Amino acid sequence: MVSLSTVSASNVRISSILPSNLVAVFIGATSGIGEATLKKFAQHTISPRVYFIGRSQEAADRIAAECRALNPTGQFIFRQADVSLIRNVDKVCEEIKAKEQSINLLFLSCGVASLDRSKTAEGVHLLAAINYYARIRFITNLLPLVQRASGLRRIVGVGGGSHEDEIDRNDFPALTIPIEKLRGHLTSLVTLGIEGVARGAPEVSFIHDYPGTVKTKLLDIYPEEVLKTFEYVPIDECGQRHLFLATSARFPPANGTVMGVPLEDGVEIAVGTSGAVGSGVYSVGVDCESASSAVLAVLKGMRERGLVEEVRLHTQDELRRITTS
């Protein structure tokens, strides 16, 4: 486990090591984990320019003011959007690309409090739309800008990392998968989808992590008696750990370039989803440690059966269907 004290020590060094004027994009940052991480980013960076996307203008006004208090020389720019719809994702990305030449950090934590099989107006399973299709669309749309950045090039997706399980290749959108298998399926869909994208971007670090159980609006679907049984990760610790994931040299890109805050004593380069150290794509648990050997074996098996390519082709076809309908 990477201790919280180690995480904090690394974060404190960000302002003296990483360049000023970092550009970051936070998707799903008007509450919960996204908000907590955005504030930590504001606290520890020098004059950043941050775009943050969410649904609530009221929450965004509050968060922007709090971030400016933490970092008076930073810019905190809100865009209101329902990112369950791919057309909205594309619109946000076009706005950002019109203003920026490069992006140092893309942080994705958008979520929805739903376990039903409702569909979006674009005909996509809502849970899969938020957790997979919209995220992959953001990644592929903005990846060229991340590739052009200097000092830091990283993409972090908050989800079920380190909890991957077998994918049902007959139901990628997870419309009929039993509830008990839903997390493993969608988690693997995200990780394999990222692996497919990462093959063409060896200069970028990709992290898919599990934050633990954090008290956010996403828990509203559970009854009070269930909520009392959970062991929670404090939101401040969650923000600190995600800033560490976003900035530590523990997670280098596949090309081996050293990027981020140098390692603290006792911390080593992470093992990637391929099973190799520093391979550029990382599935990470609540303790900032790489997925277990058992999970890596599951991923290897799916990779050997061609699932990365199947997921890539399915995603390509589904996004084409949505954007041409």
Q: Residues 30-59: what's their mean pLDDT?
A: 96
Is the predicted pLDDT of residue 219 greater than 80, yes or no?
no
Share of the chain above pLDDT 90, in %: 89
Give residue 85's pLDDT: 97
pLDDT tens-digit series, residues 68-80: 999 999 999 999 9
Is the predicted pLDDT of residue 220 greater than 90, yes or no?
no
Least confident of 187-191, 228-232, 285-289: 228-232
Is the predicted pLDDT of residue 275 greater than 90, yes or no?
yes
Q: Residues 288-304: what's their mean pLDDT?
A: 98
Q: How many CB atoms lie within 10 A of CB 198?
A: 23
pTM beyond cutoff 0.85: yes
Q: Tell me the residue range of the domain where 261 lies.
A: 4-324
Q: Residues 103-132: what's their mean pLDDT?
A: 90
More confident residue, 4 or 229: 4
Give residue 135's pLDDT: 97
pLDDT tens-digit series, residues 16-43: 999 999 999 999 999 999 999 999 999 9
For residue 111, the domain's CATH number is 3.40.50.720
Q: Residues 48-61: what's their mean pLDDT?
A: 96
Give residue 112's pLDDT: 73
Split into its structural domains, the chain has a count of: 1
- Work out the pLDDT band at 184, boundaries 50, 70, 90: very high
End-to-end, the C-alpha distance of the chain in Å comes to 47
Quote the tokens at residue 82: 């329902």
